[in-house]
Amino acid sequence: MNETDKKWMRKAIRLSLTSVAAGGGPFGAVIVKDGKEVASGHNMVTLKNDPTAHAEVSAIRKAAKKLNTFDLSGCEIYTSCEPCPMCLSAIYWSRIDKIYYANTKSDAKNIGFDDSFIYDQLELPKEKRAVPITQMLRNEAIEAFETWSQKTDKIEY
């Protein structure tokens, strides 16, 4: 870890403190490309009444808009805490190259942000999960997949 990495992580940490002061959760994130900040964000879940408005997702949304692409290859993310399952998925989907984090998921669990139940749920058979999940109308829905599969001008992601 070099001084530049520390600079970006310190910004993510400052954002986490800004979030707490504003009434949000203690999380901040910065996305960097070629040594320059592309976007940053902090937790806005309670401020926006949006359960997906985590720091990392907020920063990813801003970065994608600013760069006008869904592919954030070449970017790195500095986040004040080890990403939760949703944020980790968003990071992978956006193709960010590297993740730096400060606090651990255990640190988050110790203050009431415990995501272990999500990992536990994924391991269970669908019929034993806490939120009921029912498949239906696949024979109708498959048409969209077939149409996509045959499309020659699609933008794959």
Q: Which helix (H) or strand (E) segment is 141 a member of?
A: helix 138-150
Query: Is 56 noted as a catalytic residue in this protein?
Result: yes
Could you say which of 56, 82, 140, 146 is catalytic?
56
Q: Tell me the C-alpha distance between 116 and 125, whole Å.
A: 17
Q: Tell me the C-alpha distance between 114 and 79, whole Å.
A: 17
Buried b / exposed e over 1-35, threshold 16 CB at 10 Å, is: eeeeeeebbebbbebbeebeeeebbbbbbbbbbee
Sheet with 36-42: strands ordered across: 36-42, 28-33, 75-81, 98-103
Active site residues: 56
